[in-house]
């Protein structure tokens, strides 16, 4: 077998290395490997724009916590090399002390109620001085986390159904 069992989404879903779920995952190994590559691309891209890797990791941990995924949150929080943004991993922190209230509010809204996001939410970020490309970067991070957390939930359901 490839390194599929070291991939985070598979491990965090509790998939064992044998059985029907393991067979399904193995058949889709390329998807799992691309998921891992996508994680690296959104958390530590070559061009971070306004959002350094430590901030991205804190926001990823926050999104995981907002979705009840503490194990995932801890893994993302551990990616931070410094403590500058560590408090943002806690959903009770609003980002004001770091001048990131508008960013944190937007990320929380997208993570919690994406269907309610409207043009005004993007306008508020623009008004706060955030560049278009950096808004896209925020959305990419949130979109990836939504995908990954749903993937983990689906793998868990498959594992439970197979038990």
Q: Per-residue confidence of the chain (163 residues) as pLDDT tens digits? A: 345 545 566 667 777 777 777 777 777 777 778 888 999 999 999 999 999 999 999 999 999 999 999 999 999 999 999 999 999 999 999 999 999 999 999 999 999 999 999 999 999 999 999 999 999 999 999 999 999 999 899 888 888 887 7
For residues 39 and 58, give the distance between their C-alpha atoms in angstroms, rounded to a whole number. Answer: 14
For residue 5, the model assigns a pLDDT of 45
> pLDDT, tens digit, for every residue of 96-127?
999 999 999 999 999 999 999 999 999 999 99
User: What pLDDT is attached to residue 8?
Assistant: 63
Burial label, 86 (beta-carbon count in 10 A; 0-12, 13-18, 19+): middle
- Predicted local distance difference test score (pLDDT) of residue 159: 82
Q: The dihedral of CA 109, 116, 31, 45: what is its sign?
A: negative
The beta-strand segments (E) located in the chain are none
Which residues, other chains included, contact 112 with Cβ-Cβ below 8 Å and sequence gap of 6+? 66
Contact 12, 72 (CB under 8 A): yes
How far apart CA 27 and CA 21 sit, in angstroms, is: 10
């Amino acid at each position: 077998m490839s390194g599929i069992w070291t991939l985070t989404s598979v491990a965090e879903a509790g998939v064992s290395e044998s059985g029907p779920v393991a067979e399904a995952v193995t058949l889709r190994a390329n998807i799992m490997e691309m998921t891992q590559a996508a994680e690296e691309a959104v958390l530590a891209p070559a061009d971070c724009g306004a959002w350094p890797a430590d901030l991205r990791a804190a926001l990823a941990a926050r999104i995981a916590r907002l979705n009840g995924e503490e194990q995932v949150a801890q893994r993302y929080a551990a990616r931070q090399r410094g403590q500058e943004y560590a408090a943002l991993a806690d959903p009770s922190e609003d980002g004001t002390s770091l001048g990131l209230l508008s960013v944190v509010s937007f990320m929380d809204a997208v993570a919690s109620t994406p269907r309610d996001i409207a043009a005004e939410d993007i306008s508020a970020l623009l008004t706060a001085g955030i560049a278009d490309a950096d808004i896209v970067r925020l959305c990419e991070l949130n979109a990836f986390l939504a995908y990954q957390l749903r993937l983990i939930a689906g793998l868990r359901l498959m594992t439970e159904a197979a038990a």
